Amino acid sequence: MRWRSKQLPALLLGSALVAGVLGIGTMATAADPGAAQAAPSAAHAGHMSAESTQASGDDADGDGYIPAVPQVTGVTPSSATPPPRYFHEFQANCSVTHTAPDDPIVYPGQAGRSHDHTFMGNTSTNAASTTASLYGGSTTCKAPADASAYWMPSLYKGDQKVLPVGPQVIYYKTGVTDYTSVRPFPKGLRFVVGNPLQTAQQFRAHKGFVEGWECGDSFFNVDIPASCPNRPDVQLNLRMQAPSCWNGLYLDTPDHQSHMAYPVVKPGTNDNMCPASHPVALPMIEFKMAWPVNGDMSQVRLASGRGYSFHYDFFNAWEERTLRAMVDHCIVGGLQCDPRGYDQSHPEQGAVLNAEYRLP
């Protein structure tokens, strides 16, 4: 059944604005359906403008809501606890393609409107990108079926842009305890993780924060360290996780976040499950980025500002059969897979993709 009213997501957006005033990353519980991803929305609104919801691309009427077709309703968040498996993930390793002051999620159709972004995956990504333009396109991801677009603010040292070298690690994991309940992303789903206007405290408290900025033996930095060991083996690193629970209704919403949520803690346990407001468990994306810069870091910054302004965007354009096969084999199957869907600790399980990283 198609969801015909936009009232519920509007209420969620309102909750997001309130949460944003209170602070990002407040711990949620199963009794807290706000679901913890809503909070960044208020700050991210400053990165938007009224023009960013104009009619363009996939949003024909320009209201910022892109309905899923079909919409997923009647789902109850799984509270099951399957047999424990330490890993349930695969990698989508993708190299940098280009940089541009574009953002097809926040500023669709408005070339040059954004701060500079570093793009990975789909080679054609620009301000005018849509599901149709990305799907089936050329990609720098190891699996040709992954034509998704991934991007983040560009990093500079002084006026010199510093680009990650080689395939960057993008994990697809489970964010919920019941890893068997995870299903593939719907075609065309897009969202923003974090926001460029967050404070250092908000970045540290964000549910997607893993270990902050790292270099050498320095970890959990909310800002880019002032210096890093000046050695060839030292790079600047950052990991950040995305929300993995979907409301099942929209591929995008006006704030680009409230259709997604982070898992919540099941009362009386240490288990994670999706909240009732966002009951559909999807893969949890984790960026693990590395920039070839070290030594004196005092002039290192992001295009969006200080290190704690880091955020990133995801626009799904996977070929559906391949994504489902990877999710079912690696995440639902409880394996630690490489980009071919192969777990070297369980060779008996085989690989999803062939030597050319394609589905046989």
Tell me the pLDDT of the chain (360 aa) as tens digits: 333 333 333 333 333 332 332 233 333 333 333 333 333 333 334 344 434 456 667 998 999 999 999 999 999 999 999 999 999 999 999 999 999 999 999 999 999 999 999 999 999 999 999 999 999 999 999 999 999 999 999 999 999 999 999 999 999 999 999 999 999 999 999 999 999 999 999 999 999 999 999 999 999 999 999 999 999 999 999 999 999 999 999 999 999 999 999 999 999 999 999 999 999 999 999 999 999 999 999 999 999 999 999 999 999 999 999 999 999 999 999 999 999 999 999 999 999 999 999 999
Residue 360, in any domain of the structure: no
Residue 216, in any domain of the structure: yes
Tell me how far apart the alpha carbons of residues 263 and 177 are, in angstroms, rounded to a whole number.
9
Query: Given this model, what pLDDT does residue 179 score?
Result: 98
Residue 233 exposure: Cα atoms within 13 Å on the Cβ side: 2
Query: Given this model, what pLDDT does residue 100 score?
Result: 98
Residue 343, in any domain of the structure: yes
280 forms beta bridges with: 246
How many structural domains compose the chain? Answer: 1
Tell me how far apart the alpha carbons of residues 332 and 82 are, in angstroms, rounded to a whole number.
10
- Tell me the CA distances in angstroms from 203 to 41, 73, 156, 257, 300, one per residue in order: 13, 32, 20, 16, 18
Range of the domain at 213: 7-50+68-74+85-349
pTM score of the predicted model: 0.87
* DSSP letter string, 225-241: -SEE---TT--EEEEEE
Residue 61, in any domain of the structure: no
Three-state secondary-structure class, residue 213: strand
Query: Given this model, what pLDDT does residue 55 score?
Result: 66
Query: Given this model, what pLDDT does residue 53 score?
Result: 55
Residue 2, in any domain of the structure: no
Cβ atoms of residues 170 and 94 within 8 Å: yes
Residue 358, in any domain of the structure: no
Query: Given this model, what pLDDT does residue 31 score?
Result: 35
Residue 102, in any domain of the structure: yes
**89's torsion region: left (phi>0), alpha (psi -120 to 50) or beta?**
beta
Query: Given this model, what pLDDT does residue 200 score?
Result: 97
Tell me how far apart the alpha carbons of residues 95 and 320 are, in angstroms, rounded to a whole number.
21
Q: What does the block give as tokens for 335?
A: 């394996």
Residue 57, in any domain of the structure: no
Query: Given this model, what pLDDT does residue 57 score?
Result: 79
